[in-house]
Chain A
């Protein structure tokens, strides 16, 4: 992709103006998923399985249907029967459908079985009790290692794809293996080899806004959907497939989104609301309860991992091997392949081998959580590296610097790295006052590196100029982190008009071309790149108008500081023409002026981070206090630094929760025990210190201004950095997350014995 670059000398990019949607958000005016109503609206409620695994023998909805307040009841039969089952991820629409509404089996505690639409939310809730179900309860399995064992209950036959070696349990649905060199030879060269096993439990993205939608679908196959989503085009095509309607006939509008982090990149309730609406011929609103969110949306995978790393006395890593087993619920999709590819990615290794398994279990269908799969692997690998450093008496930062990947290194997953910022983040960490600050007794320090790929994805952007010289920018990526401000900054930079004169709108599926989801740290990169291109397209047209007016060739006109100017003294002596001047009569000089850009940009640069954490463990209670936290991460180019800092801090906070307290707890009966915020404990304001941030900028050659995605990398280092800090503070190696107080006390006790 030919990109004329600007990597410095910015006028707007890099400043910190107020975000355009700030007023709406601080006054309560902004409309999130549940904040809308429609005339004649009904309320939907979903009946969910209380069993972890059961054959559905009979569903009798007749009593519910007979109730005067109930206007529609749906089951799986009300969805398209043309959606085909295919193994692995090829049959993703079928997997989503099976998850959205159970077929023959209830596959996890919370699996949707049927739904009603009634005249009030309370009536809908009451009506669920009128649906009679007969189950044949089956044995269940929720642990990843147990789900791979020969005697494990089979979730589904035939879901394994081409990659799975013969002889594995049918619950193993995908397999990944990669690497290079000769790990056995490498281990033989090492002065010390550490081999250890680690586990992480499933966690939830924990967005404060439960899923909510308002759907309207007519018998004519035309529909409207309002929903809280990270990607309304994906919602559009998925819902269309599941409802058996044409994609373009469904218009999806994204509400403001109260957090997503990857968990709202797919659909759960939206197809159900549409199906109910079609049957009732009225709009249907569905809002999930918090308990439903935990039980029935998409938490992360849980992981069981074996790591072996060999190191010489001088700190050189001679070989590294990792086996990563992840369960992703009752469907293919656990990102064992991502875990495997990212785990050793920060290091320049001659001998490396990684294996990733995607395993099914009786749990909800996993969804992405920031950098899906990467945090688990980093936790395991960075813990072993720390152990090697401790045993060999080496400084953990120096060892990472010694082995760090750099431009020209062969990545653990194969290709040669282009320019990357890992070394710079490590050097900043080394120089940072945090790294040399003295520790008090009972405190420990941990560091970790982290890596993530980042993503391009289908992008369409439109920019329309108004006659008064202001501009409207239409993007298709829901604003999950303050991206409207960054888009306006990039457009302002190109157009040369003030940031305040640009209004950014998140367009709906009917008013803009296709857009991939707001995920993969792609918004500032891809929508940003498209914004720049669309603005340049508009600028070309503005220059054409000026050239025509001056009677000179168009290549004799350039755009400077928001004005068309002659490109040199030979072009002619004309006063600069500001944008507003040209647009004032654009209708008469060739028509309205818009710029647009549609493409699937490639070249999203990879991004690295290093975190430094200080922790204090109370040996009596096992409680961990995080006393200091520093995030150092490469952003390529920070368009709006305050929102980049926000991503770093948010990722760290989620990592702290995942490391110390958050976990899905399943009972013997396979039911989720902690489905509310009281028992699923995310960090609160009193748990955390201020989180310091350092933005490193090693420009990404693939973006006009050098942008690298920042949203996800921040969650990769914390698990390991905190585990290392806690292990150093407590004097015992912690191998299982979360490191909750009971686990720490047990580890302390075991090491005393």
Chain B
């Protein structure tokens, strides 16, 4: 089967790659573009470790085909920091010990960023339900939720 050519934008950079039509966007990010921040935890869209945004919308990249990325704008965890300056969520997660093994962290950060862009003042319940698609097995979510809500407060204050 011949590979298909895809042109797309990832974290603001124009990129292109060849992929098998069966390969997912996750496979392409990781194997063609060396962006291994997004992880495959399940391959069925249940764990959120592969979370990215596509044209601003939060998706599981394992549920999207690589060829569907043609002409889209994709944002991954690798694009969250601006040079040396971490995103407030990234800083808070380290400060609050909101990660233990760290495998779910890229997905959680991408999802949390998408939440705060949509709703800068989420309640605990709203935060928990938004992040319900990101499985974490280490933390019990407590420090993650606190980090997201306190970052939201910081960001509201700063603006």
Contacts and interface: CB of A to CB of B under 8 A. Distances in A.
B137 A650 contact: yes
B56 interface: no
A26 interface: yes
Given A208-B137, A259-B137, 15 more contacts: A23-B86, A25-B102, A26-B77, A28-B78, A122-B23, A208-B41, A209-B101, A259-B138, A480-B100, A642-B143, A650-B137, A684-B133, A685-B136, A685-B144, A686-B125
Contacts of B146: 690
A694 interface: no
B77 A28 contact: yes
B23 A28 contact: no
Interface of A: 16, 18-19, 21-32, 34-35, 37, 120-122, 205-210, 256-261, 287, 289-290, 480-482, 642-643, 645-646, 649-650, 652-654, 676-678, 682-688, 690-691
Interface of B: 20, 22-23, 27, 30-31, 35-44, 46-47, 49, 76-78, 80-81, 86, 90, 93-97, 99-106, 109, 125, 127-129, 131-146
Interface of B is mostly: loop
Interface of A is mostly: loop
A290 B42 contact: yes
Contact of B140 (A35, A37, A653): A653
B97 A208 contact: no
Contacts of B43: 289-290
- A-B pairs, 9 with minimum CB distance: A28-B37, A258-B103, A653-B140, A25-B102, A677-B46, A642-B97, A22-B94, A649-B140, A35-B36
A643 B44 CA distance: 31
Contacts of B38: 28
Given A677-B135, A690-B142, A27 B81 contact: yes
A271 to B, nearest CB: 23
B100 A650 contact: yes
A303 B137 CA distance: 23
B41 A26 contact: no
Nearest to A652: B140
Nearest to A482: B100
B99 A25 contact: yes
A442 B145 CA distance: 27
Given A206-B137, A646-B143, A691-B142, A686 B128 contact: yes
Contacts of B22: 122
Contacts of A653: 137, 139-141
Contact of A684 (B27, B76, B132): B132
A260 B102 CA distance: 12
Given A256-B102, A261-B137, A290 B76 contact: no
A19 B144 CA distance: 16
Given A643-B100, A650-B100, A684 B135 contact: yes
21 contacts: A16-B97, A18-B95, A19-B94, A22-B99, A24-B102, A26-B106, A26-B109, A28-B37, A32-B36, A122-B22, A207-B101, A256-B101, A259-B138, A645-B97, A646-B143, A649-B139, A649-B143, A652-B140, A685-B131, A686-B131, A688-B142
Nearest to A257: B101
Contacts of B27: 121
Contacts of A24: 102
Contacts of A34: 30, 36, 39-40
Given A210-B40, A210-B41, A685-B131, A691 B140 contact: yes
A654 B137 contact: yes
Nearest to B104: A208
Contacts of B39: 32, 34, 208-209, 258
Contact of B145 (A22, A27, A685): A685
Contacts of B77: 26-28
Contacts of B47: 208, 290, 677
Most A C-beta atoms less than 10 A away, residue of B30, B136, B137: B137
Given A25-B105, A28-B76, A32-B103, A682 B138 contact: no
Contacts of B141: 653, 683-685, 688
A309 B131 CA distance: 44
A28 B106 contact: yes
Given A210-B40, A676-B42, A26 B90 contact: yes
A16 B95 CA distance: 9
A210 B44 CA distance: 13
B28 to A, nearest CB: 12
A30 B76 CA distance: 15
A466 B95 CA distance: 28
Contacts of A18: 94-95
Contacts of A691: 140, 142
A476 B135 CA distance: 28
Contacts of B86: 23, 26-27
Contacts of B127: 685
